[in-house]
Amino acid sequence: MAGNSVTGGGRPPLFATEKPARMAAYAYRLFASTIFAGVLLIWLYRATHVPPRSSSARRWAWLWLSAAELWFGFYWLLTLSVRWSPVYRRAFPDRLSQSYKEEQLPGVDIFVCTADPTLEPPMLVISTVLSVMAYDYPPEKLNIYLSDDAGSVVTFYALNEASEFANHWIPFCKKYKVEPRSPAAYFAKMTTPPDDTSDPDEWCTLKEMHDDLIGRVNSVVNSGKIPEVPEGIRGFSQWNEKTTSGDHPSIVQIRVSSVISNSPIIMNVDCDMYSNNSGSIRDALCFFLDKEQGQDIGFVQYPQNFENVVHNDIYGNPINTVNELDHPCLDGWGGMCYYGTGCFHRREALCGRIYSQDYEEDWTRVVRKTEDVDELEGMAKSLATCTYEYNSLWGIEKGVRYGCPLEDVITGLQIQCRGWRSVYYNPARKGFLGMAPTSLLESLKCGDTAAEWWNAQRMWLLRRISSYLLAAIDTIRRMLGISESGFALTAKVSDVQALERYKKGLMDDGVWILHHDVRDYCYSCIAQP
């Protein structure tokens, strides 16, 4: 790969932008040109073989086929233009340490988002929280927020229990440089003390503490009742018998953090995407803090990767082709999308600032400190209320855009329209791992097997004739004002038998569920006026 190196004021660059080798680029362009030539020949054939008007059926068939081929050609041109010039990013965290002292590094506000304690179990949530708490970063500059859209007291209880475990887990991680730093993921892979552990008893004690934590939390999840309110924890008083997932106290939002920590960098991650790389923050900061190339970077997006995908996955869950090919190509145009998780934002960009060349970030700014906890709590609650947003720009030009299921993508596009660039960073060690509910040549190049490619094609076919078709119909109904958009969570817990079938490569079609989903959808279409 060919890379660029920009040096300003004798300071080495904190990241490099590399292009693929020339031979690989020429080979792809030759391949793309042959496909385009084939498309042009098909268009030429259609234009020179128009059926006579006397044959109505043939003429209609010709019209529909021509329209489909014109659309395919247009789609191919768009794809070709995007894929013409991919770029790959490389960060230099060692240079970051040489250029900036620890006290000069910016604070980072991390938001972990969850929405349903049933589909997203509390143990899953707190494992992700613990993984980001254990980042290789000055702890006084880390601020972790859990945004629970379900307002679950069970999740709050689990978080409180995890805070005690964190006092032992985080020092252990930093002492032995543990990876990954999600306790659930770590102990699932390490069933016995590793060889580099100087004190095996310490490892065993920590493992027992984690098992006890799982037992206590799962017991509360199953019973739905908090056994005893811990002394000194006032938060439990916010719940009563009238509290539901649809009617609960306000959740933590971006603007709330402005009166608590107000860090220049905001990172958000879904509760099922734990941190797999303790150096991800420093890697991301290489892009923001580069004096020559980082002034206009609005956000750094990490790819989505999954840990529970088996070899030759039958459901087409791996997105290696997208991560290794499509996203670097989007990055080449400065237009990498924001996907709602695993993303580091510049606070000013996310809160609506328009980029200008004379803008200079104050990375060491801090929020006004207050000793009055009640005053701070009152300000935070005021900012969190829904009424605060009335007649304001929040949800329109500030923060995450409201009003559509793809609010994250729309938010990213708005940031780019204000003059900010986005960066896609895909390190060798994946930054985040989650749970999962082209061409053969491209798939093989990206590390897929032929069987994985074939399974992906099968799933594309199923999606096109089922979910995509229903989604298109639903979009038309929504545009006509017949229905409203909604958001559905995928379950993060698996049936044991279904998991075994998945590992064996047997498809669990869920016929009963599919039958009732389609029936209910059709009924809703008929029932609504």
> Pairing mode, if any, of strands 297-301 and 343-346?
antiparallel
DSSP 158-190: HHHHHHHHHHHHHHHHHHHT-SS--HHHHHHH-
What is the phi/psi pair of residue 113, to 5°? -110, 135
Contact (CB, 8 A) for 508 and 494: no
Residue 406 DSSP class: T
DSSP 426-468: --SS-SEEB-----HHHHHHTT--HHHHHHHHHHHHHHHHTHH
**Which one of the listed residues 149, 296, 474, 508 is annotated catalytic?**
149
DSSP 78-101: HHHHHHTS--EEEE-HHHHHHHS-
Confirm whether residue 149 is marked as ligand binding: yes
State the Rg of the chain over Cα: 26
The answer, yes or no, to whether the previous bond of 194 is cis (omega within 30 of 0) is no
The yes-or-no answer on residue 372 being catalytic is: no
CA atoms within 13 A on the CB side of 113: 12
Residue 351 DSSP class: T
Quote the CA–CA distance of 157 and 227 in Å, as a whole number: 10
For residue 528, CA distances in Å to 203, 405, 477, 478, 521 come to 59, 21, 10, 12, 11
What is the phi/psi pair of residue 79, to 5°? -60, -45
Quote the CA–CA distance of 208 and 185 in Å, as a whole number: 15
Q: Which of 485, 447, 470 is CA-nearest to residue 519?
A: 470
Angle of CA points 314, 319, 320, to nearest 5°: 110
Report the residue count for the chain.
Answer: 529
Confirm whether residue 148 is marked as ligand binding: no
**Which one of the listed residues 109, 290, 313, 408 is annotated catalytic?**
408
Quote the CA–CA distance of 385 and 102 in Å, as a whole number: 36
The yes-or-no answer on residue 201 being catalytic is: no
What angle do the packed helices 467-479 and 450-465 form, to 10 degrees? 40
β-strand partners of 433: 274
Contact (CB, 8 A) for 502 and 508: yes
Residues 6+ apart with CB under 8 A from 284: 91, 265, 267, 300, 302, 344, 425
Instruction: Cite the active site residues.
Output: 149, 408
Which residues are documented as binding site?
120, 149
Annotation: binding site for UDP-alpha-D-glucose = 120, 149
